[in-house]
């Protein structure tokens, strides 16, 4: 419930040219709402900057895909799994790379990778293997000049408004060993948060577009939900 009386001092949170009024944090008034508004505004701004040709190429690949494999490290891996699950609900044969029940990757299969840095050694190796096996590699990233970008057939650059990936050249594994992921340089969208959030929003928008293109019906999708839990 909204209270009355005096309010704490305020300032402005800025991400790029996005501005949101910010209430200084206190025990009584944490700035959760302001951070949510800033994230929403930043996502809207980023969406308006995306390359339409890149998105169209990715969408075309997804429409033509027969079997789809998804991969990512850390939190990006969870976004990849969420995308793969929705593909299954749409009727795709979709698999997560690295799971014990994942079948062999074959020529003509599609690999979709989520990596903000595009430099994670383990995922980069997977991209190379997929290419050697005759597959198509699609990359969702914030680093269009990365090692994975040079291997991928299709790249969607989600941008890097916070500048996090432009400052970091080490791989995911090296950053973990160094403990870099345990330091917070900014309260808003620390580390790779902005990429991961944008990747989830983007991938869900792709699912919605695929639903329309494939004329998917909700009852059919619901019939593919797990029923043994």
Q: Is residue 227 part of a domain?
A: no
> In this structure, are 68 and 33 located in the same domain?
no
> In this structure, are 112 and 27 located in the same domain?
no
Q: Is residue 5 part of a domain?
A: no
> In this structure, are 84 and 34 located in the same domain?
no
pLDDT at residue 226, as a whole number: 85
pLDDT at residue 76, as a whole number: 94
Question: The domain that contains 180 carries what CATH number?
Answer: 3.40.50.10490
Query: CA nearest 23: which of 35, 41, 11, 37?
Result: 11
Q: Is residue 199 part of a domain?
A: yes
pLDDT at residue 218, as a whole number: 87
> In this structure, are 20 and 128 located in the same domain?
no
pLDDT at residue 189, as a whole number: 61
> In this structure, are 76 and 149 located in the same domain?
yes
Q: Is residue 228 part of a domain?
A: no
Query: Could you tell me the pTM of the whole model?
Result: 0.78
Q: Is residue 58 part of a domain?
A: yes
> In this structure, are 161 and 213 located in the same domain?
yes
pLDDT at residue 9, as a whole number: 45
Contact 77, 128 (CB under 8 A): no
Full domain range(s) for residue 32: 10-47
Q: Is residue 139 part of a domain?
A: yes
Q: Is residue 3 part of a domain?
A: no
Taking the chain (229 residues) in consecutive chunks of 10 residues, what is each chunk's mean pLDDT? Answer: 41 51 58 82 88 97 96 94 96 95 96 94 96 97 93 93 63 48 49 86 96 88 82
> In this structure, are 36 and 87 located in the same domain?
no
> In this structure, are 65 and 164 located in the same domain?
yes
> In this structure, are 59 and 132 located in the same domain?
yes
Please tell me the distance from the alpha carbon of residue 7 to that of residue 32, in angstroms, as a whole number: 15
Q: HSE on the CB side for 72, CA within 13 Å?
A: 27
> In this structure, are 119 and 191 located in the same domain?
yes
> In this structure, are 106 and 15 located in the same domain?
no
66, two tokens: 């027969």
Taking 3-state DSSP, the helix, strand and coil percentages for the chain, each rounded to the nearest 5, stand at: 45, 15, 40
pLDDT at residue 181, as a whole number: 46
Query: CA nearest 38: which of 15, 64, 67, 55?
Result: 15
Judged on CB neighbours under 10 Å (0-12, 13-18, 19+), 81 is: middle
Query: CA nearest 73: which of 128, 133, 161, 140?
Result: 140
Cα-Cα end-to-end distance for the chain = 37
- Partners of 93 in the β-ladder: 67
> In this structure, are 38 and 138 located in the same domain?
no
Please tell me the distance from the alpha carbon of residue 63 to that of residue 57, in angstroms, as a whole number: 10
What's the total number of domains in the chain? 2
pLDDT at residue 114, as a whole number: 97
Q: Is residue 166 part of a domain?
A: yes
Please tell me the distance from the alpha carbon of residue 111 to that of residue 114, in angstroms, as a whole number: 10
164, two tokens: 């996090």
Helices and strands, counts by H and E, the chain: 9, 7
pLDDT at residue 167, as a whole number: 61
């Amino acid at each position: 419930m909204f209270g009355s009386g005096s309010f704490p001092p305020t300032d402005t949170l800025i991400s790029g040219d996005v501005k949101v009024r910010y209430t200084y944090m206190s025990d009584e008034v944490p700035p959760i709402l302001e951070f949510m508004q800033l994230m929403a505004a930043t996502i809207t701004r980023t969406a308006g900057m995306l390359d339409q040709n890149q998105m169209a190429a990715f969408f075309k690949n997804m429409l033509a895909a027969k079997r789809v494999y998804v991969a990512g490290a850390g939190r990006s891996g969870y976004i990849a799994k969420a995308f793969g699950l929705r593909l299954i609900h749409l009727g795709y044969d979709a698999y997560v790379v690295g799971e014990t029940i994942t079948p062999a990757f074959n020529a003509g299969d599609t690999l979709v990778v989520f990596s903000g840095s595009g430099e994670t050694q383990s995922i980069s190796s997977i991209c190379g293997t997929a290419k050697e096996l005759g597959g198509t590699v699609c990359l969702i990233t914030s680093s269009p000049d990365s090692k994975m970008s040079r291997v991928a057939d299709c790249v969607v650059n989600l941008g890097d408004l916070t500048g996090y990936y432009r400052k970091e050249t080490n791989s995911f594994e090296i950053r973990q060993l160094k403990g870099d992921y345990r330091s917070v340089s900014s309260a808003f969208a620390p580390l790779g948060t902005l990429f991961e959030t944008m990747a989830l929003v983007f991938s869900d928008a792709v699912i919605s577009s695929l639903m329309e293109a494939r004329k998917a019906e909700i009852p059919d999708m619901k019939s593919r939900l797990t029923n043994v839990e």
